[in-house]
Structure 1
Amino acid sequence: MLQLQHIQKRFRSFLMEIGELSYFTGRFFRESFKRPFEFKEFMRQCYNMGNRSLLLVAITGFIIGLVLTIQTRPTLLEFGAVSWMPSMVGISIVREIGPIITALVCAGKIGSGIGAELGSMRVTEQIDAMEVSGTNPFKYLVVTRVLAITFMLPLLVFFSDAVALFGSFLVENVKGDVSFTLYFSQVFNALEFGDIIPATVKSFFFGMAIGIVGCFKGYYCKKGTAGVGKAANSAVVFTSLLLFIIDFIAVFVTDIFYDL
């Protein structure tokens, strides 16, 4: 009986959090179109989230390209289809692996950072001080960060895809003596706009999900230093789950359009 009550309480709490997150998202869209526009803060956040994530994204993408090629090459070689390696790796990385892995990396780095930063501002009452002084903290802190990661994540995905394909080329060049021109000509011949556009569109949604969840967890952080850590941790967990849900919906919708 106690176990059932505990489950009901957790489920009720989960539904309340979903409702609060939905209201938070609606408020973000309302505030985004209101003046004044915090352009300087938006550009500063773009620099912080984009430029400072390049190295981590590059390393991750490079390793993905290496591992995917090394693991797949023996199987294709066994079936005499190793010439399809550039096409297969290119489509796999651009369509699915590049966007979702880059989004997960950014969720861990940027999402947790946003949650911890806004959480510490809430705990130290800096957000309350901004409200008292007449500044709109939601527009200055939340809108700028969500828009920044929304616009920067697709660029990070493009960069990660390029580095991953280069890592794959290095393996093919060493093991198969494939030239740079031949490898990337096969990659671009295999790719179509139907591969690039859905991946780019869902990257925007990935970025928005990372920003909204991170800001939501930090903005409504509970008091105390433990609340800041919990906000950062729950932002990463909740965002990761949400990214997989968005990815499933995007793949499902794209598959419907392919069938039409």
Structure 2
Amino acid sequence: MDDLGLAARPVMVHSSLRSFGEPVEGGADALLDLFLARGCTVLVPTFSESQFGAVPPATMRPARNAIDYAELPADAPAVQEVPEFTVDSTVVNAGMGVLPARLLARPDAERGAHPLNSFAALGPQAPDLIAAQSPADVYGPVRLLAERDGAALLLGVGLNRMTALHYAEQRSGRRLLVRWARDSGGRVFMVETGSCSEGFPHLEPFLRPYVRTTRVGESSWAAYPLTEALAAASEAMSADQAVTRCPDRTCLRCRDSIAGGPIGPAPLG
């Protein structure tokens, strides 16, 4: 890790423990301790859309929003039956991987206030990074991470897992997709979320000049300085929005995001 130049820096980590080829002694907690021992602050996505998402009222359904409203379930649970997200929750989508769940289990972990696409952090800069997120500013922590000379670190995973690139979408002029959650009073409200990420590997030629790589066991590690990576990615998207289209030509998220995102009023928060 030392040859990636990450000591004392804030780092957004995406990982696959399976990429190491054999069990990591100490598991995800050992990885977290490795970063913390070098003065890093670790930021991870802790998304929970499937657990806390709500069905939108008819008045909160903007067009070109990567969803076919006609296919929403007719027997959806009442708003009052949808759980309310709180920052002390440890619920996270299983697809996020082991590391985010273990980070959230730490008593000094900080979790953002976004009900569907929260981030969580651990380390000296965690309070500041997490305070930057709100229901109306989903990628605030990514923006602050870049301002503080942070990096995105991929441990055995590809660019399709690099969540920070969704912020580059926003910078390129796309309007973020919206989804819905409920508050403590049972009110449904709108929040911004990311689009499809399966086409992000197409950005590799534009990010290649900035990446630093190493291997740990059988795991390939790639570190991207966020300031440069976000600038390169957003420039590439601005020049050709279709550059991030995924292989699935029926993907609504790609179609509508590439076209510019939701149309019409979308009051957030």
TM-score bracket relative to the smaller structure: under 0.3
Instruction: Report the TM-score when normalising by structure 2.
Output: 0.27
Larger Rg: 1
Higher relative contact order (CA 8 A, sep 6+): 1
Higher strand share: 2
The structure that is helix-richer by fraction is 1
TM-score (norm. length: structure 1): 0.28
